Copies of this chain bind each other. A is one copy, B any other.
């Protein structure tokens, strides 16, 4: 018997739902509805119900969803009911900001180490971390059993570093370098390039 896989586009919306739910919980709210959630997020109520129904039945007719319960369920589904260690590669402005970023807290992630190849940076402190030498990346990351990395090196170095991360056993890369990476099957990459986002908006701007 084959279970049909969940569409990745659905998976991609779950973190958005979770984020909104956690915010609502913080606001002291106890229940919500697909309609209210949809209005906050600009997503149709039907879509939210459909998405959630892929994973189970989390609501009550007439009442809606218990916020804390649904958030808990989403954390389970997304495997963030634990804390993942993350390696940051590149200790420039972006890498340093990531190493200090408090926004990872309570959301399933923690920076565990940061690397740079520049001898002037190796050994210096960035936030709570001492910058390690990129030359040691493969052994250090494998030894720590780290499977998630944030890549914040120049585009020219990104593919080489990505190859090393893969060699070290990393399965998920969040890439801040403005370049598409080639990785083997089984390794996931997500891209963050502010410029592509900006250009997507300037298309609609006049002048």
**A200 CB contacts on chain B under 8 angstroms:** 8, 11-12, 14-15, 78, 190
What range describes how many residues of A lie at the interface?
A: 35 or more
Select from chain B the residue with minimum beta-carbon distance to A150. B194
Does A25 sit within 8 A of B, measured CB to CB?
Answer: no
Chain B nearest Cβ from A147, distance in angstroms: 6
A174 / chain B contacts, CB cutoff of 8 Å: 194, 197-198, 201
> Interface code A143-167, partner B: CB below 8 Å = 1, 0 otherwise?
0000110100001000000000000
A63: interface (CB < 8 Å): no
- Chain B residues in 8 Å Cβ range of A108: 195, 198-199, 202
Q: Closest approach, in angstroms, between the C-beta of A41 and any C-beta of chain B?
A: 5
Q: Is the CB of B15 within 8 A of A195?
A: yes
What chain B residues lie within 8 Å of A196 (beta carbons)? 12, 15-16, 19
**Interface flags, A161-203, vs B, CB<8A=1, else 0:** 0000000000110100011101000001010111111111111
Min CB gap A162→B, angstroms? 14
Interface centre among A19, A80, A150, A179 (most CB of B within 10 A): A19
Judge if A135 is at the interface, Cβ distance under 8 Å.
Answer: no
In the bound assembly, the distance between CA atoms of A162 and B60 in angstroms comes to 35
Q: For A74, give the chain B residue with the smallest CB separation.
A: B199
Stretch at the interface among A45-53, A64-72, A91-99, A117-125: A91-99
Cα separation A100 to B204 with both chains bound (whole Å): 26
Cβ of A131 < 8 Å from any Cβ of B?
no
Tell me if A172 and B202 are in contact (CB < 8 A).
yes
Chain B residues with CB below 8 A from A98, complex form: 194
Give complex CA distance A86, B182 in Å.
32
Residues of B within 8 A of A78 (CB): 199-200, 202-203
Is A29 an interface position by the 8 A CB rule? no
Q: 8 tightest A-B contacts by CB? A: A172-B201, A15-B196, A93-B97, A15-B199, A190-B197, A97-B97, A79-B202, A188-B201
